Amino acid sequence: MAALNIAIGEDIFRILREERRYYVDKTGLIEELLSGNQPKVSLITRPRRFGKTLTMTMLQAFFDIRRDSRALFEGLAVSRNAGLCEKWMNRYPTIFITLKGVEGLSFDYACAGMSSLLQGLLVEHAYLLDSERVALADRKRLAVIDSGQGSEKDTAEALQVICRALEAHFGQPVILLIDEYDVPINYAEQNGYYKEMIIFMRKMLGSALKTNTSLKFAVLTGCLRIAKESIFTGLNNFKCHGISDAQFSDKIGFTEKEVDGLLAEAELSGKKALLKEWYDGYRFGSCSEIYCPWDVLLYIDDLQHDASVKPKAYWNNTSGNAIVRTLISRAGYETREKIGRLIEGKAIEEELAEELTYDIVYKNERNLWSMMYLTGYLTKAPQQPDNGSTALVIPNKEVRQIFTDTVSQWFEDGLDRESLSPFVQALWRGEAETVHDTLNDVLYGTICYFDSAENYYHGFMTGLLRGVGLYVKSNRESGLGRSDIVVEDGRNKRAIIIELKLAPAYDQLEAKAEEGLRQIEERRYEAGLEPYIRRVVKYGVAFWRKECFVKASESAR
């Protein structure tokens, strides 16, 4: 195995290149951005952890007039276009800001965060405060912003003032790069100050993008394509490049060819199938095979330390996955069936709204499905209908695990211990008929997925038993094999052993339940119980879709 110098979490292009870290060449985006009829403002939307910030710092390094970036871009794709580099590389004053840290429980707190961010920008461009090329009035306004004592109006108009000062100082219009532009709006919606933040962002982006005569062009990135009339009102020459659009479709996220090259350099090509199963499957525009860079790099880095390590749901650990929880918690019967089909690997068809505002995301199911598509929890299926709707699928095993984990937690959280008290009592008494009736009732109220039915039913049973307060041991070594589920009650010196079976058809449920009960006896699962256990209730439980059959027996020790 060849060790790659991977920098996990580093999103500053200059640092990656100076430290000779591994970098997947995405500089072709520069040529694509500058080709054709270039819009004044370009918005590129992609899910989280796809490298948006790294892309923006790459653009900053290329355009920034204060730098000499030839060494940084040496050997990369854009460097082969000598004419473009001569015309554009380090030719324009460039502003880069990321709004991913502008958050808070109140508008005042978030606005203070924005003010602090702009103060940091002026630390980087401190020379403007003393530049005689900058108009005195603008230098005074910059000093107010730099002091952190400016009004909300000063903060909202700061980018325009800084752009004007940069143009005056360098004699060239400004390239403005705003990363994660929608994060403050997302936090505002979650914390109850959405209207105030929308008004502020409309003023800030309006002055920076619409009435800014010092602007060469601007690039924005974010997760959501916020409706133009919400914060981009009146902005002409604006173009959005979303996940459904062809332009830049292979420029953010790793293509299959790039992953193949990365694996070859790491001498890990044998892990391709695992990477593809877990982290591939996104379809952006015309590009049908896109991998999540965050996951790919983390897994390869883990492999370099332990060649036997299994893939993980790294993406799951970077967010609370609130959108998935919300969809599942609000799901009626039809929506639960759709979620089940998605987890099975099947497609659902939905009418999507690709322009949303955060305040209406949770208003209806259509918006929730749209949000899940735009944020990467779902992607377009390979085959699309011709009826105007969009066929959606879960992209890969990692996201499928997010769904299944969320379903399991929702199920356990939603169980009513008090109403299920008779079920617990019947379970300990070996009353198969009552257990059977309760399980069938609960099955019809949950989300089922049958492609990996054995795992689903095992999770269903353990979740139900834990949800009613029982201590569950699953897949435990006992006797001559592994019992599916064991519950021990030391205080009352009793235990429950459950063996689960899948029936191939409805009419074979009873036979499969009997088979499960026989297996408990034949493989002597009881031998693995603690020696103080005196009474054992045994269950064979068979499932077929949303039906089950229960057989029970009891023994003393």
DSSP three-state, residue 217:
strand
- Measuring CA to CA, which residue among 270, 271, 377 is closest to residue 323? 377
The verdict on 171 and 194 lying in the same domain is yes
The verdict on 295 and 185 lying in the same domain is no
The verdict on 221 and 266 lying in the same domain is no
The verdict on 361 and 227 lying in the same domain is no
The verdict on 100 and 210 lying in the same domain is yes
Residue 541 falls within a domain, yes or no?
Answer: yes
d(CA 73, CA 14): 9
Residue 7 falls within a domain, yes or no?
Answer: no
Which of 184, 218, 241 finishes a domain? 241
Which contiguous run of DSSP H or E holds residue 487?
strand 481-489
d(CA 381, CA 345): 10
Confidence (pLDDT) at 501: 94
Which of 286, 317, 348 finishes a domain? 317
- Measuring CA to CA, which residue among 208, 202, 52, 184 is closest to residue 113? 184
Phi, psi for 496 (deg, rounded to 5): -125, 135
Largest CA distance in the chain: 95
pTM: 0.85
d(CA 395, CA 417): 36
Residue 122 falls within a domain, yes or no?
Answer: yes
Residue 447 falls within a domain, yes or no?
Answer: yes
Contact 93, 65 (CB under 8 A): yes
- E-strand ranges in 71-186 read 94-98, 174-179
Which of 291, 317, 343 finishes a domain? 317
Q: Rounded to the nearest 5 degrees, what angle is found at the Cα of 32, between the Cα atoms of 289 and 58?
A: 85
Residue 3 falls within a domain, yes or no?
Answer: no
- CA 487 distance to own-chain centroid: 36
Query: Token pair 């299959």 is at which residue?
Result: 256
Confidence (pLDDT) at 380: 93
Residue 505 falls within a domain, yes or no?
Answer: yes
The verdict on 535 and 424 lying in the same domain is yes
d(CA 347, CA 331): 17
Q: Using 50 as the pLDDT threshold, list the residues of the chain that sit under it.
A: 477-479
The verdict on 97 and 187 lying in the same domain is yes
Our count of domains for the chain comes to: 4
Confidence (pLDDT) at 289: 86
The verdict on 75 and 120 lying in the same domain is yes
Residue 5 falls within a domain, yes or no?
Answer: no
The verdict on 392 and 448 lying in the same domain is no
The verdict on 353 and 375 lying in the same domain is yes
The verdict on 309 and 346 lying in the same domain is no
Q: What range does the domain containing 311 cover?
A: 254-317
**Domain harbouring 153, CATH code:** 3.40.50
The verdict on 363 and 490 lying in the same domain is no
The DSSP symbol for 208 reads: I
pLDDT tens for 370-401 read 888 988 999 999 999 988 899 999 999 999 98
Residue 512 falls within a domain, yes or no?
Answer: yes
Bridge partners, residue 482, by sequence: 477
